[in-house]
Every structure is written in structure tokens, then in C-alpha cells.
Structure 1
Amino acid sequence: MKTTAVRVAIGALMFGSLLSAAHAGEKITLMVGGMEKQIYLPAKLAERLGYFKEQGLDVELVNEAAGVDAENELIAGAVQGVVGFYDHTIDLQAKGKYIESVVQFSHTPGEVELISSKLADKIKTPADFGGKTLGVTGLGSSTNFLTQYLAVSHGVPVSEVTSLAVGAGNTFIAALKQGKIDGGMTTEPTVSRLIDTGAAKVLVDLRSPASTQKWLGGLYPAASLYMQNDWVNSHKATVQKLSNAFVKTLRYVCTHSADEIAAQMPADYYAGDKAMYVKALSVGKVSFIADGRMPESGPATVLKVLSSFDKAVTGHKIDLSKTYTTEFVSAAQVK
């Protein structure tokens, strides 16, 4: 009897181990270019809603303040994917490196060019950027790209504007209040924190489709999940699972209120003011794309913007078809 009991116990343990192995998630590391930024909200939200685990994935989200550093980690093979701006795919292709957006989160940057309230009467349009120091998350980041475009498209050479890497959140706020920058490009909730205290005013708003078309000449696909093309082609099953999770998350964002979405997020993302966070999200929600599909006109707009100032892109032939794919989001829709 004892022998039988021992065999049963061993069998149960072995079955339990096999079951655990079967349910153990496939490990994936994604770097997010600023986890607390509302433009990248789908990354943390997917985790909080359990959509990664639902797909059999064990996803680790790693925070990185600047998108340019995140892309470097991807190219180095330290992470499998990045939640960051689509424009990096074009900039890197011009440098001989191929990455692509596999899920497009938004069709607008969701960014705002703020100006110190002390200088609001002197800086009324981007044409007044000459001789000014403007904050960006990092040199070579998407905020840097967009700031440079606003300058050159208003007749101000890039050489006449100083871009200073100040990150986002508290570091951006400190730089503005201490006078280290005259203004800068940032996103929510940093925007609302500065506006509510009266420290800054909005100069250029790139959150809505209408304002984005006004300033950039068309929709500007921004936040996305991008990965190296070769890795995508050799790990299609995994990429499909990630796409399934993110498309489901984007549907959640587009079918739930800002209050409901905020309730799913970590409390420290509110920066001490949940009501402000919800208000900002209710405005910014318009940036997100429900089906994760790249807007048809978007890549050409981004290429036009980068070609106007980015020496790496200007004069180079860019194959836009290699900067994004809709294969996985299309399959996720069917599923």
C-alpha cells in the first residue's frame, strides 16, 4: 500500500511539473521608451489585464527614458522588441539597420511643444525657435526629430536651435522651472503637470489627428511595437501572440472610458493626481488605433518630416514596405 501511495505521489508531482512547464510563459523582454507616458500606456495595460499571459507569454517590460537608447538595446539584441516611435524604423534603415513596426498603437505623436510661461510673449510660433534651448527626451529621440522639423518647417535652421536632453517627468519639469530650457517637447502626464501649475503654455499640440495634420501635414504614426525584421521573420508565432495581446489591449482602450483605463494602471503613474491623469487621458485617447493597423498615408508623412532635416535620411532611398507590417494585426483581427 505504501509503495502504491508513493508511486501515486511521485506521479502527481511529475504531472504537476509537466503542467507547470506547459503553462510557463514564453519569455520576452520589451523595452518601453518611458513606461509612465500615456502614449505608451498599452504596454503596461496589456500586462495588467493579463493579456500577455493569456497568450502564453512571460513578458518583462523594461523602462528606458529615451527612445533612442531603447532602439540601441534592440539592435544590440538585449531585448526582443521596443515600444517606441515608428520614425526610428526609417532613421535606422537609412543607416543600414532594418526594424519594423508590427503593431501600430497611434496615428498621432501625442506630444506637445511647451514653452515656459515667462517666454510665452516672445515665443509665439516655431519661427521664434532661433537661439532658444529646447528640451527633448534624448538626442536622436522622436521628440528631437519633431522639434527639429517644427523649426526647419518654419524657416529656422537646425543649427540655430539647441536641443537639450532632459528626459521626461520630473527631470523635464525641473529643467524648465530652473531655466535650463526655454521650452520643450513632452507628453502626458508631464504636460498637464506643467500647465496646471502655470509654469508652461502649449505652443504646438500634436495629440489630435486634426492638429497633427495642421503641423505635420498628415497623420504621423508614432507609438508602436517595433522589432528587428530578421527576428520577426524567424519568430512569427511569438510575434503573433504579442500582436494578439496588443490588439486586444487597443480595443480595450478604444472601448473603455479614461476612468476605467486609469483604474487599471499603477497608482504611481498618476504623478500624485489621478483626476489630472484621467482628464489628460480623456483628451489623449484619440491618438490610439483600435485595430493596430498602420494608417496608409502615415509612413509617407513620417518620411517627409525626417527628410527635411535628418542627414541620415535625406538623399537615401527608403523602402517603406520594410518599416512596418500588417500581417500580424490582420491575423489578430480575424482571431
Structure 2
Amino acid sequence: MLQHLPLVLADALGYFRAEGVQVMLQEHAADTEALAAVYQGQADLCSAPFEALLRQQARGRALRAFVLQTRSPQVALAVAVRQFPSYRDLVDLKGRRIGVPALDSGAQWLAAMLIARVGLAERDVQFVPVGSGADALQAFRSGRVHALCHGEPVMSQLEARNDARVVADLRGLKAMGDLLGSALPDACLMAPPAFLQRQPAVAQSITHAMVHALKWLQTAAPADLVRVLPAAYLLGDRSSYLAALGRVRDTFSPNGLLPEDGPQAALKLLQRVQPAAWTDTRVDLSRTYTNEWVRKARQKFNA
């Protein structure tokens, strides 16, 4: 998914190697699987949405974000054209199946917020995990779900072939600002505090590579991206991939810093969607992120 593009670029451009660290990227169909890999000792750190980190902390599992990749979830909610020929508004989703990358994912939370604005509760629809990439496309096109709340480049591929009609677009900074009143930190590199304490030099090297990639992305032309990225990331459709990139390009962090008001915005989102679950939940936001290594990296790369 494009929300993790800076991480993929840091690897593809050789920036990790240039910083003296060997990184092996493991792909997972859902953020929950990436987080589980960290907890089970199969990975040292992961790339996941900031709101997922907050939910983990509320469950007593400590993680700390140290590089911000995207300032918006980059998702859109779309309905299947064939199954909704006379779609009018979100109320029409009542009783329908809505595909999301994974249950309890950020996409599901945003979809729940959108339908709540028209009076629907989560119990009024059925959220179905569809994974990412080709799996999500197949689930939608086969009719297994009637609607889809997902990220890029999946949504642009469905739009390009007129399979989907986007009914709520949250893929840009302005759209997220209109909905929440602020940007929302999304994909971050995060790790258990113990790892960051034991391996500060490794964390700094990884951060250097990420900030370097974010800076490169700010001025890279579409042709540069196609040349650098592994073919599998284009999902067999170069034009749709580039169209997707154009829709979300402003959401990529220019420098990797988590904004001071970002963690609070993410917490407010969770409290808004499930107020009962978060009424008595205490989260120490100061322990959920650090900009320590990004500040040093910005000096190195003038980012």
C-alpha cells in the first residue's frame, strides 16, 4: 500500500545499506499481522498506523513511533457500481458487507465514523477483512463485498475500470482536515521501547535512511518512481498506480517529524468512533512517540 511507500523506497534506493544497516522487509496483509510479528519476536520493528499504536498501548503493549511516513490514512470508501446502480447516500449501506484491509484496522474505524454521520452504527453493516493488493481487488470484483474502504493503489485501480464509485474520499490532507479538523498521523515506523533503548545507533541509521527517502520523494518524478519500485508494487497497472500517487502525494511527510498535535488527533478519532470503549482508558501520549532521531536526521540531510 502507498502509505508504506517511503519505507519501500528507502530499501529500493539503497539508503539502508548506505547507512550501514541490513534491513529485510516482511510483507503482511494487515497491520495487525505486522504488529503480531513484532510481539512474537519475528520482527524488530514495523510500519503501521499511529492509531494502531494507541490501541496497543491501551491493551498494555508498549510501542513507540519514531518516523512519520504519512499524514493521512489515504483511504476512500467506494460502492460496487454493479450492486449499487441507484446509490444515493451512505444510508444505503445498511445491511451490506463493507470490505476493509483487516478487522479493527484504521480503514474500518474511518468507515465506522463515516456511516455514523448518517445515523448508522457498526452493527448495521458487516465489516469483512479482504487483505491488500490483488486479494482486495478480487474480493470486491467477485461480489464478496458490496463496498470497500481501502487505501491506494487499490482504490484507483477500481475507479479506472469503473468497478467502483467513490462515495467518501479521505485520500488527501484537505479531506482529512475537513473531517477531523486536523491532519491525522498514519503510517509510522514503530518499535518496542526496549529495542530503541538497546539499539539507539541502529534506530538512528534507520531514521537517516527514512528521512533521506522522504526528501527524495518530495521532488521525484513519476518516471523515477516507476524505475525504482519493484514491479509487483504497481499491481500490473502503471497508469492507475501513478494516478493513485497523485491523489495522495501531499499526505507524505516531508521530513518524518510527528506533529505535536498529531497524537492527540489520533486519540480523539478513537474516542469519537467508540466513546464507551475509551471513556476510562488512559493513554500517556508522551510515551507513544519520539522525534529524537528525526531531528538529527534532518540536520544531516537538510530536510
> TM-score category by the smaller chain?
over 0.9
The residue aligned with 1:304 is: 268
Change (3 A) 1:100 1:149: farther
Aligned counterparts of 1:158 and 1:282: Cα–Cα separation in 2: 31
Answer whether contact 1:158 1:309 (CA < 8 A) is retained.
no
CA contact under 8 A between 2:153 and 2:241: conserved in structure 1?
Answer: yes
Measured after TM superposition, the shift of residue 121 of structure 1 is: 5.6
Residues 1:186 and 2:144 aligned together: no
Structure 1 counterpart of 2:20? 56
Whole-Å separation in 2 of the counterparts to 1:82 and 1:154 = 35
Q: 1:102/1:205 Cα in 2 relative to 1: closer, same or farther (>3 Å)?
A: same
Q: Which moved more, 1:51-60 or 1:301-310?
A: 301-310
Q: Which of 229, 235, 245 is 1:281 aligned to?
A: 245
Q: Does 1:258 align with 2:185?
A: no
Moved more, 147-156 or 51-60: 147-156
Amino acid at match of 2:66: V
How far does residue 234 in structure 1 lie from its aligned partner after superposition?
Answer: 2.1
CA spacing shift, 1:297–1:154, aligned 2, 3 Å: farther
Match of 2:136 among 172, 175, 183: 172
Report matched runs for 1:100-249 at 5 Å.
Answer: 100-120=64-84, 123-249=87-213
User: Which residue in the other structure is 1:315 paired with?
Assistant: 280
The offset of 1:115, in angstroms, is: 1.1
Q: What is the aligned residue count?
A: 299
Unaligned runs of 5+ in 1: 1-36
Deviations 1:130-185 (A, max 9, x none): 32210011112222222222233442212212110111222222222222211111
Partner of 1:59: helix, strand, or coil? coil
Residue 71 of structure 1 and its aligned partner are, at CA, apart by 0.8
Q: Which residue of 2 aligns with 1:329?
A: 294
Whether the aligned pair in 2 keeps the contact of 1:84 and 1:225 (CA below 8 Å) is yes
Offset of 1:110 from its aligned partner? 1.0
Q: 1:124 to 1:321 in 2, by over 3 A?
A: farther
Looking at structure 2, the residues matched to 181 and 110 of structure 1 have their Cα atoms a distance apart, in angstroms, of: 20
Specify the alignment match of 1:26 in structure 2: none
- Mapping of residues 64-83 of structure 1, within 5 Å: 64-83=28-47
Q: Confirm or deny: 8 A CA contact 1:259 1:278 kept in the other structure.
A: no
- Give the letter aligned to residue 188 of structure 2: S
Task: Quote the Cα distance in structure 1 between the aligned partners of 2:22 and 2:94.
Answer: 48
CA offsets, 1:83-107, max 9 Å, x none? Answer: 1211111101110111121100011
> Could you tell which deviates more after superposition, 280-289 or 117-126?
117-126
2:81–2:162 contact (8 Å) kept in structure 1: yes
In structure 2, stretches of 5+ residues that fail to align are none
Give me the identity figure in percent. Answer: 28
Paired residue type of 2:299: V
- TM-score, normalization: structure 1? 0.84
Give the Cα–Cα distance (whole angstroms) in 2 for the partners of residues 184 and 297 of structure 1: 29
Distance in 2, Cα, partners of 1:79 & 1:153: 38
